[in-house]
A and B are shown apart, each in its own frame.
Chain A
């Protein structure tokens, strides 16, 4: 850098014979030992550019063996004969940075590092993956489906989730039906026609297991706030805040469905009596809809 500073800029050389001569390079020494070099040059568009550089010269004194110092002045020979000093690009290049930290348990660390990119790729995969509703095939979670309460999943194999839930109760009946295949099967028990009413009940039954009824909710409550409050205990699948049809104000009660019943139980325990918007919440497990 310092060498460059003392020498005329390469751009100056070209413009040297230009009649519209550039002002000469000015070098001023500052108090703090640095030098300010002001030079002028033309840029690509032919405009005059003033370049101001502040240069600090540091002398790095390295003590080497006199033999080593003597060797530094050796001329190049062989295939390199006559080449300019400095590494040439066709033989010498700098590789990628390598992080090398010796450690006794480097193997475990290396394994973790190897795992992490995989984790990253998994995340990427999920990023690209579109969310698909099982009920209406829309781009939202099934739990958020607007038709959740009115429609059955589109391509769910018969006796899928709903069938399994009802399984415990219906087992003897279903078994009996299966055994006597020729006999009459009522429509709501037939394959491919999981009965609407039955299913709905089944569905609620499932939800009820992990749904909390929250009462004494402020009129000004928002679903988002409730979600935030309850999400601390586990994954919340649904937040329903009853609102007045005209005023859109909250009616004072809400249902919170959890993915996991144990989370719901914990939330019920902790949130019961919680002060929210000047009111004390009352949280209990939702009773079965009748």
Chain B
């Protein structure tokens, strides 16, 4: 496979996201610009300009009408995907580290940083898709405050029933989406090893966490049971579950501050592929010059993209061997 290199950013990538049809790819980086790309050929559709600080997170509504971004300038901005105009700005007391639309697109959660005396919170904003997109609620409909350890990442469960959050101390918690009450909290990763990413399967019944403790875990959304563990040899920044084939893709590498003291090969700047069920590592894809900060997979499972500390996004369209690979038991099953 020939990766498509997207060089639209001048600084480290922070998050990339395919839309629900997989034809568009959105990328945000620390250089204050949001880029939209056609995933098929790497053509840039446009940029969304307006943020005043590093952008930490991006998400696109399921109908690809609105785009939400969270930034270190303490705002969440809502953009019209088609025109690139900013339709709404919400101000927060601290930086926003993660935004995510609910599966039906009617709500948006925003994870805010713990800083300057403010505790980390998860705010839920109601989103409307009327004729006038600027017509949005000003105040969050729900605010969850994380008193113990701040939330670093969060996402919605199936049907938006729960909010799942990963914490700085390596624990994962489950909140009720209506009351904001914490239903469960499980210490899944080593204590004090931050969870850097949570990504859900397509049906949102399970999700994968990527942690600084060099492992990724597949967990059940309903009861936060650990289903699978994928050990790696490097701190992980991102993990995703591939549809169509039962794989997971992990991205990581030496922390950015240690990079200059390690060679590219030792730095382990590779995307790692594991089999989702058998937990075996089945291959790696190299190419980045820095740690992988974010990986995302095409919703049809035909491509994946990775964004690195080196400022590049690499879009890989899988070719035949990827789809052909099967375990002996799987082949056996197919024959029956």
Among the listed A71, A77, A87, which residue makes an inter-chain contact with B41, where contact means beta carbons less than 8 Å apart?
A: A87
Q: Can you identify 27 A-B contacts, CB atoms within 8 angstroms?
A: A67-B21, A77-B83, A79-B47, A80-B47, A86-B41, A88-B44, A90-B7, A91-B6, A92-B7, A93-B7, A95-B4, A95-B314, A96-B3, A96-B287, A98-B1, A98-B286, A100-B283, A100-B321, A100-B322, A101-B283, A101-B321, A102-B273, A102-B282, A103-B282, A103-B325, A106-B281, A110-B284
CA distance A93 to B282 in the complex (A): 28
CB distance from A114 to the nearest CB of B (A): 10
Q: Does A74 sit within 8 A of B, measured CB to CB?
A: yes
With A79-B47, A80-B44, A87-B42 known as contacts, the answer to whether A71 contacts B64 (CB < 8 A) is yes
With A78-B49, A92-B5 known as contacts, the answer to whether A98 contacts B321 (CB < 8 A) is no
Contact status A98-B46, CB under 8 Å:
no
Contact status A71-B23, CB under 8 Å:
yes
Q: Does A104 sit within 8 A of B, measured CB to CB?
A: yes
CA distance A110 to B318 in the complex (A): 19
B: residues with CB less than 8 A from A are 1-8, 21, 23-24, 33, 37, 41-49, 63-64, 82-84, 247, 273, 280-287, 314, 316, 318-319, 321-322, 325, 327
CA distance A97 to B48 in the complex (A): 31
Q: Does A56 sit within 8 A of B, measured CB to CB?
A: no
Contact status B287-A98, CB under 8 Å:
yes
With a CB–CB cut-off of 8 A, which chain A residues contact B283? 100-103, 106
Contact status B42-A78, CB under 8 Å:
no
With a CB–CB cut-off of 8 A, which chain A residues contact B45? 74, 76-77, 80
- Can you name the residue of chain A whose Cβ is closest to the Cβ of B312? A95
CB distance from B60 to the nearest CB of A (A): 12
Contact status A94-B46, CB under 8 Å:
no
With a CB–CB cut-off of 8 A, which chain B residues contact A278? none
Q: Does A107 sit within 8 A of B, measured CB to CB?
A: yes
- Can you name the residue of chain A whose Cβ is closest to the Cβ of B321? A101
Contact status B2-A106, CB under 8 Å:
no
With a CB–CB cut-off of 8 A, which chain A residues contact B321? 100-102
Contact status A104-B287, CB under 8 Å:
no
- Can you name the residue of chain B whose Cβ is closest to the Cβ of A104? B280
Top 3 A-B residue pairs of the complex, sorted by shortest distance between their CB atoms: A78-B47, A77-B84, A77-B46
Given contacts A67-B63, A103-B282, 19 further A-B contacts (CB under 8 A): A71-B23, A71-B82, A72-B23, A77-B46, A77-B84, A78-B84, A79-B46, A88-B44, A91-B7, A92-B42, A95-B314, A100-B318, A100-B319, A101-B325, A102-B273, A102-B322, A102-B325, A103-B325, A106-B284
Q: Does A65 sit within 8 A of B, measured CB to CB?
A: yes
Q: Does A81 sit within 8 A of B, measured CB to CB?
A: yes
With a CB–CB cut-off of 8 A, which chain B residues contact A110? 284
Most chain B beta carbons < 10 A, residue from A67, A71, A72, A92 = A92
CB distance from B27 to the nearest CB of A (A): 11
Q: Does A126 sit within 8 A of B, measured CB to CB?
A: no
Contact status B21-A92, CB under 8 Å:
no
Q: Does A68 sit within 8 A of B, measured CB to CB?
A: yes
With a CB–CB cut-off of 8 A, which chain B residues contact A80? 44-47
Contact status A78-B2, CB under 8 Å:
no
CB distance from B55 to the nearest CB of A (A): 14
